[in-house]
Amino acid sequence: MSNQREDTSAIHDMIQTYLDALYHADVSKLASVIRDDGLYVSTSPDDYLNRTIPEYLAVVSMRQSPASQGETRNEEIVSIEFAGDTMAFVRLNMSMMGRSYTDFLTLYKDAGRWQIISKIFTYTTRSA
């Protein structure tokens, strides 16, 4: 049986890598925390997307990073829930590129390492 305290700490570290990768548009760092066979889905009104992870990484590789724009980071892990030793669910709020996001991330622990297997999210456009 896993140690939930250690798993929570490992998940926090992995989510920090995920957030750093998004902020810097660092595809290799992002790929290190998302399984390449995972799912990427936007459920935002009028902007439904369902991409493979390789398609998503290609999009990230072409974007100008929030870091290069001098954007202030605004990120919060709202919750982490466990469903056994190898599955967890993270609710995350963040903002970047003029949008406020809510991510629902499903995580899978394989060979002692947590990775994102699905990223389901929605966003709203922030007022200027």
Tokens at 109, concatenated: 């622990």
- The span from the CA of 65 to the CA of 22, in Å, is 8
What secondary structure does DSSP assign to 82-99, as a single string?
A: ESSSSEEEEEEEEEETTE
Q: Return the CATH number at 120.
A: 3.10.450.50
Tell me which residue range forms the domain holding 75: 4-125
Query: Tens place of pLDDT for every residue, the chain, 128 residues?
Result: 568 899 999 999 999 999 999 999 999 999 999 999 999 999 988 889 999 999 999 999 999 999 999 999 999 999 999 999 999 999 999 999 999 999 999 999 999 999 999 999 999 997 75
Element (H, E) at 26: none
When divided into structural domains, the chain yields a total of 1
Q: Are 107 and 117 in contact (CB under 8 A)?
A: yes
Confidence (pLDDT) at 46: 87
pTM of the model: 0.92
* Sign of the torsion angle spanned by Cα atoms 8, 33, 42, 85: negative
